[in-house]
Amino acid sequence: MSAHAEMTPLLSVRGVSKRYGAQIGCADMSFDLYPGEVMGIVGESGSGKSTLLACLAGHLRPDTGSVLFDTRADGLRDTVRMSEPERRMMSRTDWAFVHQNPRDGLRMAVSAGGNVGERLMAVGARNYGDIRRSAVDWLDRVEIDTGRIDDRPSTFSGGMQQRLQIARNLVTGPRLVFMDEPTGGLDVSVQARLLDLLRGLVRDMGLSAIIVTHDLAVVRLLADRLMVMKSGCVVEAGLTDQVLDDPQHAYTQLLVSSVLQV
């Protein structure tokens, strides 16, 4: 936990830009994410936060820039220029991606246990008993009744589906989790439970995470630092409570003052 042990960033983003024709997706993004750090990206729809996340997670190829990831084997590697097999291996082992809509991140026709076990099998697990035990363990950790291990996620509530998606992603012990509006579309009470769960997992596993959301309450509870985006650019970045309590930029002030105080 000491400062010098965290000298190497886990993720180092340099000059990442993505355009859609004349439209700017995101422009010249650069930042470092350190091990164990949780960064929130907020901004309104169309601000480019999802485009940035897709570029970082390898779902979109940025037009320019590099995304350096501190790989276990070879240290910092540019994932933009990695071969597709390497990048896929990365996204099955060291990375996780939690989609807003659990249907995008789950196989709805496969049982909960199969969903959790897929990543294990993809990296070579070939013992049914072991896979099953991991699945039971993870369902338990995300507070899903282990008796439902053989049920399909289509029979689950939205909150359960989202927790299943998280279990499915974390089973291989990733180091970096990308989350796209992880609590979007959930009831407020369900959101609280999910936030608590995510917070615990992030801490227990020492995860680094990048969370895209438009919900400022979510980032206040989960994120150490915050990046505010508008029209594809970062308008303000810093410590989460500093950005929220003392916003400097006009857009951030508007964003913060637009939230109803509870």
- Residues in touch with another protein (CB under 8 A): 1, 3, 6, 34, 37, 84-85, 88, 92, 107, 110-111, 113-114, 117-119, 121-123, 126-129, 131-132, 149-150, 192-193, 195-196, 199, 203, 220-221, 224-225, 238-242, 245-246, 248-250, 253-254, 257
Nearer to another protein, 64 or 250 (CB): 250
Task: In whole angstroms, give the CA distance from residue 179 to residue 197.
Answer: 14
Chain mean position to CA 18: 19
CB of 22 to another protein, least distance (A): 27
CB of 195 to another protein, least distance (A): 6
Nearer to another protein, 14 or 19 (CB): 14
Alpha-helical runs (H) found in the chain = 49-56, 84-93, 102-105, 112-122, 128-141, 158-170, 188-205, 216-222, 240-245, 250-257
**Backbone torsions φ then ψ of 185, nearest 5 degrees:** 75, 10
CB of 133 to another protein, least distance (A): 11
Task: In whole angstroms, give the CA distance from residue 38 to residue 17.
Answer: 22
CB of 222 to another protein, least distance (A): 9
CB of 64 to another protein, least distance (A): 25
Nearer to another protein, 3 or 22 (CB): 3
In DSSP notation, 100-152 reads SSHHHHS-TTS-HHHHHHHHHHHTT---HHHHHHHHHHHHHHTT--GGGTTS-
Nearer to another protein, 76 or 190 (CB): 190
